[in-house]
Structure 1
Amino acid sequence: MPADFGEKLVIAISSRALFDLKESHQVFVQEGLKAYSDYQIDREDDVLAPGEGFLLVKKLLHINSLLPGKPSVEVILVSRNSADTGLRVFNSIEHYQLDVKRAVFSGGASPHRYLSAFNSHLFLSTNNDDVTNALSMGAAAATLLPSKRLDIDEMQVRFAFDGDAVLFSDESERIYQQKGLKAFAENEKQNAQLPMEVGPFAGFLQALHSLQSEFDEQGLDCPIRTAMVTARSAPSHERVIRTLRHWGVRLDECLFLGGLSKGAFLKAYGADVFFDDQPIHCDSAKDHVTTGHVPHGIANT
């Protein structure tokens, strides 16, 4: 009988986001595919070190032990490796006892075309082209950046999101970029009652909210916490709050920073991962937390 994922939260992640493959990637870049393939096969029993997305995946899979009889999270490996070179990745998955059973090895081609077949809610990669392709198909996707994060012991998963061009469309950001802060503030005040259009991560936030609701309904402590960390300030806060209310989605925390650097606030929140469209905010964040750049909207054109 064919399997399906039902109401599971489905996360797709590349091998280079899950594990540290910098050394072998340099072999590929400098010496080519044949040398890379030989390198991986010769070392297929050598366990790979964790990558930027490893701890996040570990925490997400832990959620499955908290709702007995109802696994709630599925992690899919999607990789440009071939099955031969990917064996080292699966051996490392087994070593760390990660419950990852499904994988796509696309043999050098971009694996983004399989995301919709898996009904993926989020795609994490270190390949910006694959992420851009995924976003163009309507998927929530981010490029994980090298960070100076500190591993957080507790098993609660803390997501943080920027607002414009991530949770929401970039319609308001376009006004800011093209006409300035005053025009942006006037537009948001005039349209405070008008919900913003959805951005690429709206569906992922909705999926997180649904999973949080399951824990609430059963009276269990929720292992997921969400926050929006935005450069907006009053009076542009009202439209954000009304938009989320219109969507029927809650955020546990909202930080309206009025242009302040986000890094220290993300550290204080304890984010496991932060998603932002603007490179300047990603640079501030990656000194403190795992950061996913979302190459979407006017800031990336």
Structure 2
Amino acid sequence: MGIIESRPSLVVAISSRALFDLDESHQVFQTQGVDAYYEYQIQHEEDILAPGVAFSLVRKLLNLNELFQGRVKVEVVLLSRNSADTGLRVFNSIEHHGLDITRAAFTGGRSPFEYASVLDAHLFLSADSDDVARALQSGVAAATIAPAHPGDAQERPLDEGVDQLRIAFDGDAVLFSDEAEKIYRQQGLEAFEASEKAAAKRPLEAGPFRCFLEVLHKLQSLAPEGTAPIRTALVTARGAPAHERVIRTLRTWGIRIDEALFLGGMEKSAFLKAFQADIFFDDQTHHVESAAQFVPAGHVPHGVANKG
């Protein structure tokens, strides 16, 4: 028997409402019920859905297969609460837009979050916050896609001449645990900075997105330095002296991050716009809502900021 060559892989699970603009049909579901929704989707199944907030991100993810020239395998899997009948419109739209998505789970109203872990997904994106919270609890990096604002990320030209996939992360409670955030919220900024300075050489515990970042780093390492089709950024409210522990933590993990922005409490959205992020992940809703004015953003409902 021949030896089967394994390739580094990245699996992203995404809901239909994150991939396409389903606001109109979702409104039918909310106001008229499931039967009316079913009839609406059947009547409109030949109508192609417009791109949703995460559409450009998905297209760039799939494009990595071509940019890496077959050395990696990036797969996007659709997870949807639709039934197979109502989901036909979604698959018709996938085909129309030329997206190489071949696997899907239509759960007929049941939460599909469990399939994210069965698929060994490295990331799950959804418009349903309950599904995201349950996926996080099962150990999958997950985020709730923030709605697009008129005239912003959703309506940007889909081809801006930037093939590179650009992903930005908050630090505490996203890449790292919320241990430092707890001190900040309980004791204030001075205590937080003193604690982080004292613990500068002790690595932070991993947060829910550490493994996803690690996979991105492994893919980046396959390209010559400076030519990787993936670029990552840490965009954090931390400033000096709380920066050192973060840098040393990433060094201990053996993970390179391309850009690190220590903003010392400054608003993040302008920096994310300048970075041209294809998506930004943060645990605090006000940062997500602010960022979503300019770039796709996902809320990570993890850590002390989301308790209660």
Which residue is equivalent to 2:287? 281
Task: Specify every segment of 5 or more residues in structure 1 that has no aligned partner in the other structure, as ranges.
Answer: none
Instruction: Give the superposition deviation at 1:68.
Output: 2.7
What are the within-5 Å matches in structure 2 for residues 99-178 of structure 1?
A: 99-147=100-148, 148-149=152-153, 150-151=156-157, 153=160, 154-178=162-186
Which residue is equivalent to 1:185? 193
3-state DSSP class of the match of 1:109? coil
Please, what is the CA RMSD of the aligned residues? 1.6
Residues 1:83 and 2:89 are matched in the alignment: no
Identity of aligned residues (%): 60
User: TM-score with structure 2 length normalisation?
Assistant: 0.93
CA contact (8 A) 1:72 1:211 kept: no
CA contact (8 A) 2:79 2:104 kept: yes
CA distance in 1, matches of 2:291, 2:226: 31
CA contact (8 A) 1:262 1:281 kept: yes
CA contact (8 A) 1:143 1:293 kept: yes
Instruction: Give the superposition deviation at 1:221.
Output: 2.2
CA distance in 1, matches of 2:16, 2:263: 35
CA distance in 1, matches of 2:120, 2:36: 35
Count of matched residue positions in the alignment of Structure 1 and Structure 2:
297
Runs of 4+ in structure 1 off by over 4 angstroms are none
CA contact (8 A) 2:233 2:259 kept: yes
3-state DSSP class of the match of 1:143? strand
CA contact (8 A) 1:170 1:297 kept: yes
List per-residue Cα deviations over 1:103-131 (Å, max 9, x = no partner). Answer: 01111111111111111000000000000
Task: Specify every segment of 5 or more residues in structure 2 that has no aligned partner in the other structure, as ranges.
Answer: none
CA distance in 2, matches of 1:192, 1:49: 48
List per-residue Cα deviations over 1:173-202 (Å, max 9, x = no partner). Answer: 000011111111111011000000000000
User: TM-score with structure 1 length normalisation?
Assistant: 0.96
AA partner of residue 205 (structure 2): E
List per-residue Cα deviations over 1:242-271 (Å, max 9, x = no partner). Answer: 000000001000000000000111111111
CA distance in 2, matches of 1:168, 1:200: 7
CA distance in 2, matches of 1:71, 1:186: 43
Higher alpha-carbon deviation: 66-75 or 153-162: 66-75
CA distance in 2, matches of 1:156, 1:28: 37
CA distance in 1, matches of 2:279, 2:261: 16
AA partner of residue 211 (structure 2): G
Residues 1:206 and 2:214 are matched in the alignment: yes
Residues 1:194 and 2:213 are matched in the alignment: no
CA distance in 1, matches of 2:297, 2:70: 33
CA distance in 2, matches of 1:15, 1:77: 7
CA contact (8 A) 1:65 1:71 kept: no
Instruction: Give the superposition deviation at 1:220.
Output: 8.1
Which residue is equivalent to 2:51? 50
